[in-house]
Amino acid sequence: MEQSYTLKTNGQMNFVLNRHHAGEGTVQLEATSSAVDEGVHQPLKNIEQRLEQMVGMQEIKKHVKELYAWLFLNKFRERFALKTEPQVLHMLFKGNPGTGKTTVARLLGEFLRDMGMLPKGHLIEAERADLVGEYIGQTAQKTRDLVKKAQGGILFIDEAYSLSRGGEKDFGKEAVDTLVKHMEDASGEFVLILAGYPLEMERFLRLNPGLPSRFPLIIDFPDYTPNQLVQIARQMARQRDYSWTQEAEHMLQAHFDEQMNQSRQGFSNGRYVRNIMEKSVRKQAVRLLHHPSAYTKQDLMWLTAADIIFQSDGTTGEDKYK
Protein backbone atom coordinates (compact mmCIF):
# COMPACT_ATOMS: atom_id res chain seq x y z
CA MET A 1 0.00 0.00 0.00
CA GLU A 2 1.29 3.42 -0.84
CA GLN A 3 0.09 6.82 0.35
CA SER A 4 1.32 9.93 -1.40
CA TYR A 5 1.30 13.43 0.04
CA THR A 6 2.43 16.73 -1.43
CA LEU A 7 4.01 19.31 0.87
CA LYS A 8 3.93 22.90 -0.34
CA THR A 9 5.49 25.74 1.59
CA ASN A 10 4.52 29.14 0.26
CA GLY A 11 5.60 28.30 -3.26
CA GLN A 12 9.19 27.79 -2.17
CA MET A 13 9.15 24.01 -1.70
CA ASN A 14 7.11 21.28 -3.33
CA PHE A 15 7.81 17.70 -2.31
CA VAL A 16 6.02 14.38 -2.70
CA LEU A 17 6.09 12.17 0.37
CA ASN A 18 5.44 8.48 -0.29
CA ARG A 19 4.59 6.01 2.43
CA HIS A 20 5.26 2.40 1.41
CA HIS A 21 3.90 -0.71 3.12
CA ALA A 22 0.91 -0.80 5.42
CA GLY A 23 2.81 -1.69 8.56
CA GLU A 24 5.48 0.50 10.05
CA GLY A 25 6.10 2.04 6.66
CA THR A 26 9.08 3.84 5.23
CA VAL A 27 9.25 7.44 4.18
CA GLN A 28 10.75 8.58 0.93
CA LEU A 29 11.25 12.24 0.00
CA GLU A 30 11.14 13.04 -3.70
CA ALA A 31 11.70 16.48 -5.18
CA THR A 32 9.22 17.32 -7.92
CA SER A 33 10.20 19.52 -10.87
CA SER A 34 8.99 22.56 -8.95
CA ALA A 35 11.35 21.75 -6.09
CA VAL A 36 14.23 21.32 -8.51
CA ASP A 37 13.47 24.68 -10.07
CA GLU A 38 13.28 26.49 -6.74
CA GLY A 39 16.05 24.47 -5.10
CA VAL A 40 15.57 22.00 -2.26
CA HIS A 41 15.44 23.72 1.15
CA GLN A 42 15.55 27.12 -0.53
CA PRO A 43 14.30 29.10 2.51
CA LEU A 44 17.20 27.73 4.56
CA LYS A 45 19.69 28.46 1.79
CA ASN A 46 18.40 32.02 1.45
CA ILE A 47 18.83 32.97 5.10
CA GLU A 48 22.16 31.13 5.42
CA GLN A 49 23.52 33.09 2.47
CA ARG A 50 22.45 36.35 4.12
CA LEU A 51 23.92 35.34 7.49
CA GLU A 52 27.13 34.26 5.80
CA GLN A 53 27.65 37.86 4.70
CA MET A 54 27.58 38.97 8.35
CA VAL A 55 30.62 38.77 10.62
CA GLY A 56 30.32 36.17 13.38
CA MET A 57 26.76 34.85 13.87
CA GLN A 58 27.87 31.21 14.29
CA GLU A 59 25.39 30.56 17.10
CA ILE A 60 22.61 32.26 15.14
CA LYS A 61 23.27 30.06 12.10
CA LYS A 62 23.00 26.97 14.30
CA HIS A 63 19.67 28.12 15.77
CA VAL A 64 18.26 28.92 12.32
CA LYS A 65 19.14 25.48 10.97
CA GLU A 66 17.54 23.76 13.97
CA LEU A 67 14.42 25.91 13.62
CA TYR A 68 14.16 25.12 9.92
CA ALA A 69 14.58 21.37 10.43
CA TRP A 70 11.92 21.36 13.17
CA LEU A 71 9.37 23.28 11.11
CA PHE A 72 10.14 21.30 7.96
CA LEU A 73 9.79 17.85 9.52
CA ASN A 74 6.70 18.82 11.52
CA LYS A 75 4.87 19.39 8.25
CA PHE A 76 5.58 15.81 7.24
CA ARG A 77 4.62 14.44 10.66
CA GLU A 78 1.25 16.16 10.35
CA ARG A 79 0.55 14.35 7.08
CA PHE A 80 1.01 11.00 8.81
CA ALA A 81 -1.11 12.08 11.80
CA LEU A 82 1.94 11.94 14.07
CA LYS A 83 2.04 14.11 17.15
CA THR A 84 3.80 17.46 16.82
CA GLU A 85 4.71 20.03 19.42
CA PRO A 86 2.93 23.40 19.26
CA GLN A 87 4.90 25.63 16.91
CA VAL A 88 5.43 28.59 19.24
CA LEU A 89 7.96 30.91 17.61
CA HIS A 90 8.22 33.80 20.10
CA MET A 91 11.86 34.60 20.89
CA LEU A 92 14.19 36.36 23.30
CA PHE A 93 17.34 38.06 21.99
CA LYS A 94 20.06 38.81 24.56
CA GLY A 95 22.96 41.02 23.52
CA ASN A 96 24.53 44.46 23.66
CA PRO A 97 23.52 47.19 21.17
CA GLY A 98 24.95 46.82 17.69
CA THR A 99 25.45 43.04 17.81
CA GLY A 100 23.00 42.38 14.97
CA LYS A 101 19.73 41.70 16.81
CA THR A 102 17.49 43.89 14.65
CA THR A 103 19.09 42.70 11.42
CA VAL A 104 18.58 39.05 12.38
CA ALA A 105 14.97 39.73 13.41
CA ARG A 106 14.31 41.18 9.95
CA LEU A 107 15.92 38.16 8.26
CA LEU A 108 13.85 35.79 10.41
CA GLY A 109 10.67 37.54 9.31
CA GLU A 110 11.53 36.89 5.68
CA PHE A 111 12.57 33.32 6.51
CA LEU A 112 9.30 32.50 8.30
CA ARG A 113 7.36 34.05 5.42
CA ASP A 114 9.21 31.79 2.97
CA MET A 115 8.42 28.83 5.21
CA GLY A 116 4.73 29.68 5.11
CA MET A 117 4.63 30.34 8.88
CA LEU A 118 3.91 34.07 8.48
CA PRO A 119 1.93 35.58 5.57
CA LYS A 120 3.86 38.88 5.43
CA GLY A 121 7.09 38.54 7.38
CA HIS A 122 7.43 42.29 7.95
CA LEU A 123 9.14 43.74 11.03
CA ILE A 124 7.57 46.26 13.41
CA GLU A 125 10.15 47.82 15.74
CA ALA A 126 9.04 49.23 19.09
CA GLU A 127 10.39 50.39 22.43
CA ARG A 128 8.89 51.32 25.79
CA ALA A 129 7.50 54.70 24.64
CA ASP A 130 5.57 52.97 21.84
CA LEU A 131 3.72 50.74 24.31
CA VAL A 132 3.39 52.55 27.61
CA GLY A 133 0.83 55.33 27.97
CA GLU A 134 0.48 58.11 30.50
CA TYR A 135 -2.94 57.26 31.91
CA ILE A 136 -5.09 54.22 32.66
CA GLY A 137 -6.28 52.39 29.56
CA GLN A 138 -3.89 54.08 27.15
CA THR A 139 -1.16 51.44 27.49
CA ALA A 140 -3.39 48.49 26.63
CA GLN A 141 -4.68 50.31 23.55
CA LYS A 142 -1.22 51.33 22.34
CA THR A 143 -0.01 47.76 22.80
CA ARG A 144 -3.00 46.31 20.96
CA ASP A 145 -2.42 48.73 18.07
CA LEU A 146 1.20 47.59 17.75
CA VAL A 147 0.20 43.93 17.79
CA LYS A 148 -2.34 44.68 15.07
CA LYS A 149 0.35 46.31 12.91
CA ALA A 150 2.56 43.26 13.44
CA GLN A 151 -0.11 40.75 12.38
CA GLY A 152 1.42 38.40 9.84
CA GLY A 153 4.94 39.44 10.79
CA ILE A 154 7.24 40.13 13.73
CA LEU A 155 6.87 42.59 16.60
CA PHE A 156 10.39 43.42 17.80
CA ILE A 157 10.63 45.21 21.16
CA ASP A 158 14.11 46.46 22.03
CA GLU A 159 15.18 47.13 25.62
CA ALA A 160 12.12 45.14 26.71
CA TYR A 161 13.38 45.06 30.32
CA SER A 162 12.46 48.76 30.59
CA LEU A 163 8.81 47.68 30.81
CA SER A 164 9.44 46.42 34.35
CA ARG A 165 11.48 49.35 35.70
CA GLY A 166 8.79 51.72 36.87
CA GLY A 167 7.56 50.01 40.01
CA GLU A 168 4.05 49.00 41.03
CA LYS A 169 2.31 52.15 39.75
CA ASP A 170 4.01 52.10 36.36
CA PHE A 171 2.01 51.09 33.29
CA GLY A 172 4.84 48.93 31.92
CA LYS A 173 3.39 45.85 33.63
CA GLU A 174 0.10 46.50 31.85
CA ALA A 175 1.94 46.43 28.52
CA VAL A 176 3.54 43.08 29.42
CA ASP A 177 0.20 41.62 30.49
CA THR A 178 -1.41 42.78 27.23
CA LEU A 179 1.41 41.25 25.18
CA VAL A 180 1.11 37.94 27.04
CA LYS A 181 -2.62 37.84 26.34
CA HIS A 182 -2.11 38.40 22.63
CA MET A 183 0.66 35.81 22.52
CA GLU A 184 -1.94 33.26 23.60
CA ASP A 185 -5.03 34.59 21.79
CA ALA A 186 -3.25 35.30 18.50
CA SER A 187 -0.85 32.36 18.54
CA GLY A 188 0.51 31.74 15.05
CA GLU A 189 -0.65 35.14 13.76
CA PHE A 190 2.50 37.05 14.72
CA VAL A 191 5.88 36.47 16.36
CA LEU A 192 7.02 38.51 19.35
CA ILE A 193 10.74 39.09 19.87
CA LEU A 194 11.88 40.75 23.11
CA ALA A 195 15.46 42.03 23.02
CA GLY A 196 17.91 43.77 25.34
CA TYR A 197 21.14 43.68 27.34
CA PRO A 198 21.88 40.14 28.62
CA LEU A 199 21.89 40.89 32.38
CA GLU A 200 18.86 43.17 32.23
CA MET A 201 16.89 40.59 30.26
CA GLU A 202 17.73 37.94 32.86
CA ARG A 203 16.38 40.22 35.62
CA PHE A 204 13.32 41.01 33.52
CA LEU A 205 12.49 37.31 33.19
CA ARG A 206 12.90 36.79 36.94
CA LEU A 207 10.46 39.61 37.63
CA ASN A 208 7.94 38.02 35.29
CA PRO A 209 7.98 34.27 36.11
CA GLY A 210 5.30 33.48 33.52
CA LEU A 211 7.39 34.77 30.61
CA PRO A 212 10.24 32.23 30.18
CA SER A 213 7.89 29.37 29.28
CA ARG A 214 6.34 31.48 26.51
CA PHE A 215 9.67 32.00 24.75
CA PRO A 216 11.03 28.63 23.60
CA LEU A 217 13.74 30.31 21.50
CA ILE A 218 16.38 32.23 23.45
CA ILE A 219 19.31 33.46 21.34
CA ASP A 220 22.51 35.06 22.65
CA PHE A 221 24.28 37.70 20.56
CA PRO A 222 27.88 37.82 21.81
CA ASP A 223 30.06 40.91 21.56
CA TYR A 224 32.35 41.08 18.58
CA THR A 225 36.06 40.50 19.09
CA PRO A 226 38.57 43.20 18.01
CA ASN A 227 39.47 41.11 14.95
CA GLN A 228 35.80 40.84 14.01
CA LEU A 229 35.37 44.59 14.38
CA VAL A 230 38.21 45.11 11.89
CA GLN A 231 36.43 42.69 9.54
CA ILE A 232 33.23 44.72 9.92
CA ALA A 233 35.14 47.94 9.19
CA ARG A 234 36.62 46.35 6.09
CA GLN A 235 33.20 45.12 4.99
CA MET A 236 31.54 48.50 5.55
CA ALA A 237 34.25 50.21 3.51
CA ARG A 238 33.90 47.73 0.65
CA GLN A 239 30.13 48.19 0.54
CA ARG A 240 30.69 51.94 0.09
CA ASP A 241 33.52 51.57 -2.47
CA TYR A 242 36.21 52.57 0.01
CA SER A 243 39.30 50.74 1.26
CA TRP A 244 41.35 51.15 4.43
CA THR A 245 45.09 51.42 3.95
CA GLN A 246 47.14 48.79 5.75
CA GLU A 247 48.31 51.42 8.23
CA ALA A 248 44.70 52.46 8.89
CA GLU A 249 43.69 48.86 9.60
CA HIS A 250 46.56 48.55 12.07
CA MET A 251 45.30 51.71 13.76
CA LEU A 252 41.78 50.29 13.96
CA GLN A 253 43.06 47.01 15.41
CA ALA A 254 45.09 48.84 18.07
CA HIS A 255 42.11 50.99 19.03
CA PHE A 256 39.68 48.06 19.27
CA ASP A 257 42.19 46.10 21.37
CA GLU A 258 42.59 49.06 23.70
CA GLN A 259 38.85 49.59 24.10
CA MET A 260 38.28 45.90 24.74
CA ASN A 261 40.95 45.89 27.45
CA GLN A 262 39.21 48.82 29.11
CA SER A 263 36.00 46.72 29.14
CA ARG A 264 33.79 49.54 27.97
CA GLN A 265 30.19 48.31 28.19
CA GLY A 266 28.44 48.51 24.87
CA PHE A 267 31.65 49.23 22.98
CA SER A 268 32.02 45.96 21.08
CA ASN A 269 29.41 46.47 18.43
CA GLY A 270 28.94 47.26 14.78
CA ARG A 271 27.28 50.58 15.51
CA TYR A 272 30.52 51.89 17.01
CA VAL A 273 32.41 50.83 13.87
CA ARG A 274 29.81 52.50 11.65
CA ASN A 275 30.30 55.80 13.49
CA ILE A 276 34.07 55.61 12.92
CA MET A 277 33.47 54.80 9.27
CA GLU A 278 31.15 57.75 8.69
CA LYS A 279 33.48 60.19 10.46
CA SER A 280 36.46 58.88 8.49
CA VAL A 281 34.66 59.36 5.18
CA ARG A 282 33.93 62.99 6.04
CA LYS A 283 37.51 63.56 7.22
CA GLN A 284 38.83 62.09 3.97
CA ALA A 285 36.59 64.43 1.97
CA VAL A 286 37.97 67.45 3.83
CA ARG A 287 41.53 66.19 3.33
CA LEU A 288 41.01 65.80 -0.41
CA LEU A 289 39.75 69.36 -0.74
CA HIS A 290 43.37 70.49 -0.41
CA HIS A 291 44.54 68.20 -3.22
CA PRO A 292 44.50 69.04 -6.92
CA SER A 293 41.12 68.52 -8.55
CA ALA A 294 42.45 65.74 -10.80
CA TYR A 295 41.76 62.95 -8.35
CA THR A 296 42.61 59.36 -9.14
CA LYS A 297 40.28 56.48 -8.34
CA GLN A 298 42.63 55.43 -5.54
CA ASP A 299 42.58 58.94 -4.05
CA LEU A 300 38.80 58.75 -3.76
CA MET A 301 38.78 55.22 -2.34
CA TRP A 302 41.62 55.11 0.22
CA LEU A 303 40.90 55.86 3.87
CA THR A 304 44.18 56.55 5.67
CA ALA A 305 45.24 56.65 9.32
CA ALA A 306 44.93 60.44 9.15
CA ASP A 307 41.23 60.05 8.25
CA ILE A 308 40.27 57.91 11.24
CA ILE A 309 38.40 59.84 13.92
CA PHE A 310 38.16 58.05 17.29
CA GLN A 311 37.05 60.82 19.64
CA SER A 312 34.61 63.71 19.64
CA ASP A 313 37.55 66.13 20.08
CA GLY A 314 38.74 65.25 16.57
CA THR A 315 41.72 63.10 17.57
CA THR A 316 42.75 61.00 14.57
CA GLY A 317 44.26 57.55 14.47
CA GLU A 318 47.51 59.10 13.27
CA ASP A 319 47.58 61.51 16.23
CA LYS A 320 46.79 58.80 18.75
CA TYR A 321 48.95 55.91 17.59
CA LYS A 322 51.85 57.60 15.79
The domain ranges of the chain are 1-40, 41-221, 226-321
Q: How many CB atoms lie within 10 A of CB 218?
A: 14
Residues 197-220: what's their mean pLDDT?
A: 86
Q: How confident is the model at residue 190 (pLDDT cuts 50, 70, 90)?
A: very high
What is the DSSP annotation of 134-187?
SSTTHHHHHHHHHHHHHTTSEEEETTGGGGG-S-TT-THHHHHHHHHHHHHHTB
pLDDT mean across residues, the chain: 82
Task: Estimate the crossing angle of helix 42-52 against helix 101-114, to 10 degrees.
Answer: 160
CATH architecture classification, 41-221: 3-Layer(aba) Sandwich (3.40)
The region of weakest confidence among 142-146, 205-209, 230-234, 244-248 is 205-209
Q: Greater confidence, 199 or 38?
A: 199
Average the pLDDT over 151-173 and give the result: 85
Tell me which H or E stretch contains 236. helix 226-239
Q: Give the model's pLDDT for residue 121.
A: 95
Domain at 226-321: CATH architecture: Orthogonal Bundle (1.10)
Task: Give yes or no for a contact between 31 and 17, defined as CB atoms under 8 angstroms apart.
Answer: no
Annotate 286-304 with b (16+ C-beta within 10 A) or e (fewer): eeeeeeeeeeeeeeeebbb
**244 in Cβ contact with 256 (< 8 Å):** no
Give tens-digit pLDDT for 282-314: 999 999 998 777 889 999 999 999 999 886 545
Encode pLDDT of 85-113 as tens digits: 778 899 999 999 889 999 999 999 999 99
What is the reported pTM?
A: 0.79
27-69 residue pLDDT tens: 444 434 344 344 578 999 999 999 999 998 888 999 999 999 9
306 DSSP 8-state letter? G
